Each structure stands twice: as C-alpha cells, then as structure tokens.
Amino acid sequence: MKLFDLTGKTALITGSSMGIGSALARGLADAGARVVLNARDAARLNKAADTLRQTGAQVDTLPFDVTDAKAVRTAVDDYEATRPIDILINNAGMQHRGPLEEFEVEAFDRLMRTNVNSAFYVGQAVGRHMIGRGAGRIINIASVQTALARPGIAPYTASKGAIANLTKGMATDWAKHGLNCNAIAPGYFDTPLNAALVADDTFSTWLEKRTPAGRWGKVEELVGAAIFLSAPASSFVNGQTIFVDGGITASL
C-alpha cells in the first residue's frame, strides 16, 4: 500500500547496531527505505550492516557519538552532502539503576546526555536539512517510563519524560516547515538493555501479571508504529507519543 511505502526514502536510526534500533532498521528496510545505521562501535556497526545487507536491504553506516554535538553535526552534514535523510529515528539510549538518594551525579549527567541531549543534537542537525527541503519525519524513542515510574530509575524516568516534551516542542516549531515529529514509547521489551530484568524470574512474573497482554514485548512489534510514523499514512499526526506497551499504561 502506498500509504505505508517507504521506497526511495532514507532513514537514519541512531543506536541501531542491536536491540530496538536494529529491529526498526530491518523493518524500515523491508518497507523499502535505505537505512543508515549508527553506533559508536564501528566493528559492531559494520557487522550489523553486513547482516542486514544479506536480506537485500540498502544499508549505509554512519559511526559517530550521539553525545558529541560537533561530531553529530559533522557526520550528518557530510552524509547530507551525498544523500538527503528523510527519516530520523532517535533511538540511542541507556539505563542506569540505583537508589535516587545515592545516584551519582556523573551517572545522572551521562544518562541525560545519552537519552536527551542526543535527541536534541541529532534532531537539530538533521532537522535543519529537512526544514530546507520542506519535509521530514522525526521519531523519538520514549518509554513506558514517559508516563510511569518504578523504584531505582528516577533519572531514566526524567529523561524519557523529557523526550515526550521535546517531541511536542519539535512538532510545535517544525510542523510549519513540513516536518512530522512524533515519539514511540515502548513498554517492557526483551532487549539487551533489559537483559537483567528478563533474567529475573521474580520481575518477569510480576510483569506478566501487570501487563494486560501477559508477556514481554518482542522488538519486531515496534516496527508497525515506526513505519506508520515514517510513511504518508501519518501525514497529519504530529507531536504525539504512541505507547506500544501491551496495555500496561491503560491498566491499574
């Protein structure tokens, strides 16, 4: 269907050498997009790209540190000199758990740089080019913690709340230039970031009871929302955060 066809589009996905970013890259490639993988680890990035190319996907790599504003601008501008980036998915992120009263300042700063600053840096660098063309799609990866909190992750919760409001701000400033800026908020998914929780039988049992769907999410289940927000089907959707969480935010 043309409403969901990404043929001819180029999508940059940050933090896409594994986990959710890798799954979204595969999904957008299957929908016809050329995907640009990003990570700091060049070796892991190239391995991920080679694996994706074996499926017939069009894949480029763009290694840079999303927390380094200058490196971000240089990498994006250099790539844009050869090919326009039509879709940006700000996926790079990290988690750090600990009691709030003991949470180290350095850990808080690192988490905010990775989860919030990076979305601003990359979003601004790509957005400037999109504004010049009068079109573009930006998708920020939020979290179930955008709406809910759990013990031991207050700074992470703050960072993902910021992502939702940054998304609203992007839409408010840039919709007039033809950009659609939205967010996807995953619930609890089986990813490397959540490996410790997946391995915790007590937590998994609690999660299965707490989530109406009764299970962990699979990363492939985020692809549909990403394609929708990247494609013509969502042409009048702006500033929204779509929760893909098995119903956890809808139920007490």
* Residues tagged active-site: 156
Whether residue 178 contacts residue 134, with contact meaning beta carbons closer than 8 Å, is answered with: yes
Distance CA 118, CA 10 (A): 20
Q: Which 3-state string (H, E, C) describes 169-233?
A: HHHHHHHHHCEEEEEEEECCECCHHHHHHHCCHHHHHHHHHHCCCCCCECHHHHHHHHHHHHCHH
Report the b/e string of 164-187 with b at 16+ CB within 10 A.
Answer: bebbbebbeebeeeebbbbbbbbb
* Residue type for position 86: D
**Sign of the CA dihedral running 112, 116, 121, 122:** positive
Residue found by looking up tokens 């549909």 in the block: 224
Residues sharing a CB contact under 8 Å with residue 79, sequence separation 6 or more, in sequence order: 12, 36, 60, 62, 85
The helix or strand, by DSSP H or E, that contains position 10, with its residue range, turns out to be strand 10-13
Distance CA 80, CA 147 (A): 35
